[in-house]
Amino acid sequence: MDARNIGLRNIEVADTKICSIDADNGKLIYRGYDILDLVNHSTFEETAYLLLFGELPNKEELLDFSSRVQEARNLPESIVNNLKNHPKRSRPMDVLQSCVAELADYDLNIEDDSKEYNIQRAIVLIAKIPAIVAAWNRIRNGQQVINALDNDSHATNFLYMLNGTKPTQDESKVFDICLILHAEHSFNASTFAAREIASTRAHMYASISGAVGALSGELHGGANIQVMKMLLEIGNPDNVERWVTNRLQHRGRIMGMGHAVYKTKDPRAEVLSRLSRSISTRKNNQWFDITEKVENATKKYMHENKNQGIYPNVDLYSASLYYSMGFPMDLNTPIFAIARIAGWASHVIEEKFAQAAPKPALYRPQAVYVGRYCGPMGCEYTPIQNRITPV
């Protein structure tokens, strides 16, 4: 098998109108719009609308969309009660995955797979995933679950439901930008998982539950947790160069550096770097300084050893940013899901309704068999009593 194609790398599996990545020039495009323009001028609600519907909304459309999200935010009482029954040690991503699957039970039109109802399901998931994450964090800490505020932004509501106090305008804006940056990224592992499940004609909740499961792995959504563990281990800016050098000399990996797609700096990392610097300065901590030194020390080592260029990805600076904002480390990945649900749902809808093939074309990749070969007739079965026990 061609090593370049392992993990389906460089294999084109579907068309999409949702997202484009310019790997050579470090550009990320949502539905034709540069991510940096959206960060500077848009909101998460407007960006989510763009991803779902393909166009930016007018004022009336955005107001209607935001109202539909607002109306769907609060959780059914039975889901809250189920959350209370989870062991307090349960991992937030496991809790989130089970709750997403459970939401199917509350969909009175679950048998209707029309585009209209799939868009409504997307709105429900955009609204309820933040509520689930906030509710679980409060429940596991012995606190009361808080319902959403009326007529406030998506970012503001999550921070309020999580912490119990209304965030400042600056805090809401920073988090809103983070949501925009993480909302979509083409055919990454979790998005492909969602589309593959949708191709079987499974419903939206099953597809998104699978995406949450894929995101939970440390090589995908869990990567920024590993970054923060690295920063905590380093502990001080003065320790960075020695730590990075030792790690790379022993063929270790620097989490948050390098990307499977980008050949230059991830444009999201540029924005997150600025946000991390701002929050670190405001909080008077050293996490941004350590992170920046990790980036520079890694680049220096790679250059001195004549290795190809390496650049920070979205996880490097989001780790120090979220830590400085006071988020528990194990909420980093669920927060990723709070944003990425907009992209996941858009891909599920595209998979169901916009493919060139009639209806979904079931994904069925081929594997190269490299197992035992006993000849064209196969291996001869030996009864268990005649098998020789290996020494």
Encode pLDDT of 99-149 as tens digits: 999 999 999 999 999 999 999 999 999 999 999 999 999 999 999 999 999
Name the nearest CA neighbour of 100 among 202, 3, 238, 171: 202
Residues forming a β-bridge with 29: 20, 34
Q: How confident is the model at residue 361 (pLDDT cuts 50, 70, 90)?
A: confident
Whether residue 168 contacts residue 182, with contact meaning beta carbons closer than 8 Å, is answered with no
Average pLDDT on 164-190 reads 96
- Indicate whether 167 pLDDT > 80: yes
CA distance 20 to 262: 12
Average pLDDT of span 296-322: 90
Domains of the chain: 16-220+328-353 (1.10.580.10), 223-324 (1.10.230.10)
Backbone φ and ψ of 186, nearest 5°:
60, -145
Consecutive H or E run containing 4: none
Residue 294 to residue 314: CA distance in whole angstroms: 14
Q: Please, where are the H alpha helices in the chain?
A: 35-41, 44-53, 59-71, 77-85, 92-102, 115-140, 154-163, 169-182, 189-198, 204-215, 223-234, 240-249, 267-283, 287-304, 314-324, 332-353
Query: Which entry of 154, 203, 259, 347 is annotated as an active-site residue?
Result: 259
What confidence category does residue 377 fall into, taking pLDDT thresholds of 50, 70 and 90? confident
CA distance 31 to 38: 11
pTM: 0.93
Active site residue 315: yes
